[in-house]
């Protein structure tokens, strides 16, 4: 999952880069490279939807060319959350199946309680995935807009 955004600005790009570095570092990103034209930051990933949505970006590249700020982000943090939300219902199914077969009840049908435990996650997981991606993209768009606005302020 990649996003690419470009925003025009007028003003001092160094101010925008300082703000971007501060915001990214405050949200747990590690600056891999920073120069007058580019910032490359690597994030730890998103472990829950309660974290700042910016953590859904695994790698953020902010560059400038002329009067444009360009933001490229790999949504690796969201991808990690997707893996978690897919493996959770599968893990629940496997755990319930193993415990059911070990209890000696394998000759009887699987209890409906097991289905009641797994079924909500089949609805909740996709919703959480869509919500996390949407929130991350919106946060990155807001970051780029704020950087463009701050570059115009002297």
- pLDDT band of residue 154 (cuts 50, 70, 90) is very low
Kind of pairing between the strands at 2-8 and 30-34: unpaired
Sign of CA dihedral 109, 110, 116, 121: negative
Segment (H or E) for 121: helix 112-152
Domain boundaries of the chain, sorted by first residue: 2-78+139-149, 80-126
Return the pLDDT at 25: 93
Quick one: CATH architecture of 2-78+139-149? 2-Layer Sandwich (3.30)
**Inter-residue contact 88 to 117 (CB < 8 Å):** no
Pair 41, 31: CB distance under 8 Å: yes
pLDDT in tens, 114-145: 778 788 888 888 898 899 899 999 999 999 99
> Quick one: tokens of 104?
């000696």
pLDDT in tens, 69-112: 999 999 988 888 888 888 888 888 888 878 777 776 666 666 77
């Amino acid at each position: 999952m990649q996003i690419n955004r470009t925003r025009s600005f007028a003003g001092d790009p160094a101010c925008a880069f300082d703000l971007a570095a501060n915001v990214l570092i405050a949200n747990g990103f590690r600056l891999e490279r920073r120069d007058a034209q580019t910032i490359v930051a690597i994030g730890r990933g998103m472990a829950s939807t309660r974290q700042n949505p910016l953590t859904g970006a695994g790698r953020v590249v902010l560059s400038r060319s002329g009067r444009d700020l360009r933001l490229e982000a790999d949504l690796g943090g969201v991808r990690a959350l997707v893996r978690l939300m897919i493996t959770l219902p599968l893990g629940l199914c496997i755990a319930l199946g193993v415990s059911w077969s070990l209890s000696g009840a394998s000759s009887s049908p699987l209890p409906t309680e097991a289905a009641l435990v797994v079924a909500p996650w089949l609805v909740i997981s996709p919703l959480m995935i869509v919500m996390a991606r949407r929130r991350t993209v919106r946060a990155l768009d807001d970051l780029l807009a704020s950087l463009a606005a701050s570059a115009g302020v002297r």
